[in-house]
């Protein structure tokens, strides 16, 4: 197993990409600490982790609150005596963003806190323990929108761009301590993340939305949480032991332009 006897904290691990990473890591021998506000889903994910023969915790946490963040880290240390892996996955994008001249200061602060400050708070709390053990893997989930915004959402895209700069700086600062710090930039990944944007759509309408959106993806499909989890597993395991300070696009080829053969195009879009 690639993560035998490792311990990981995964923020936003209750559902979507975070859940996918939690289950992938558990299948590879890792104990999982889920930090999330959605406790029902967090407990459901933890039950799946336990079914895979691993131990874990599900802890309710506002990732923008330093006291609650420290509580998660202390609970993990108390139970497992170490933290090997930190996945900063928690985040969220508002359903709509006003033009910058109309954006309330409070909305800017809230989105920046959720998507960027949360990474800072968890790293601040976890890094001393990793330094003591002289081992650690930190994976920050950014977004392809940080470098190629698909729509105007300036607070979200700015926060995710900040995650990249944060990753580069921290990687340089921690390399001496054998702590790897990297970022994953997901593209179009089908999860409940899009529900606020899609509104009260039926499953059939959502299928149509993702099928249509996938036309701009060179691989011609939306990604899955498992696609991101596979990349995270590489970075969290010894397979990525000499990789630090990098950003990994997991986007199906975006922002490359799709090159769809005419025959295949006709097959996908019959008259």
Q: Select which of 156, 168, 194, 242 is catalytic.
A: 156
Assess whether 242 carries a catalytic annotation: no
Q: What Cα–Cα distance (Å) separates residue 143 from each residue in 46, 47, 55, 91? A: 26, 29, 30, 10
* Contact assessment for residue 137 and residue 180, using Cβ atoms and an 8 Å cutoff: yes
Give bridge partners of residue 84 from the DSSP assignment.
none
Q: What Cα–Cα distance (Å) separates residue 103 from each residue in 37, 94, 98, 107, 114? A: 26, 12, 6, 7, 17
The residues carrying an active-site annotation are 156
């Amino acid at each position: 197993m690639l993560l035998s006897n490792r311990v990981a904290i995964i923020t936003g691990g209750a559902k979507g990409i975070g859940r996918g990473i939690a289950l992938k890591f558990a299948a590879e021998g890792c104990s999982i600490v889920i930090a999330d506000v959605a406790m029902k889903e967090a407990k459901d994910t933890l039950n799946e982790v336990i079914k895979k023969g691993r131990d874990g915790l599900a802890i309710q946490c506002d990732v923008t609150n330093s006291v609650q963040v420290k509580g998660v880290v202390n609970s993990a240390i108390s139970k497992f005596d170490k933290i090997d892996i930190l996945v900063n996955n928690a985040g969220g994008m508002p359903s709509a963003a006003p033009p910058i001249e109309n954006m309330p200061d409070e909305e800017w602060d809230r989105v920046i806190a959720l998507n960027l400050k949360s990474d800072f708070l968890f790293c601040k709390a976890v890094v001393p323990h990793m330094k003591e053990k002289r081992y650690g893997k930190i994976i920050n989930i950014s977004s392809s929108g940080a470098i190629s915004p698909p729509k105007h959402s300036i607070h979200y895209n700015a926060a995710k761009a900040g995650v990249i700069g944060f990753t580069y700086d921290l990687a340089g600062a921690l390399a001496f301590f054998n702590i790897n710090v990297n970022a994953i930039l997901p593209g179009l990944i089908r999860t409940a993340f899009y529900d606020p944007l899609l509104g009260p759509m039926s499953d059939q309408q959502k299928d149509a939305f993702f099928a249509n959106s996938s036309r701009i993806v060179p691989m011609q499909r939306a990604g899955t949480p498992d696609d991101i989890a596979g990349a995270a597993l590489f970075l969290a395991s010894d397979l990525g032991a000499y990789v630090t300070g990098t950003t990994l696009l997991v986007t199906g080829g975006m922002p490359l332009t799709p090159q769809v053969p005419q025959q295949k195009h006709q097959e996908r879009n019959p008259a």
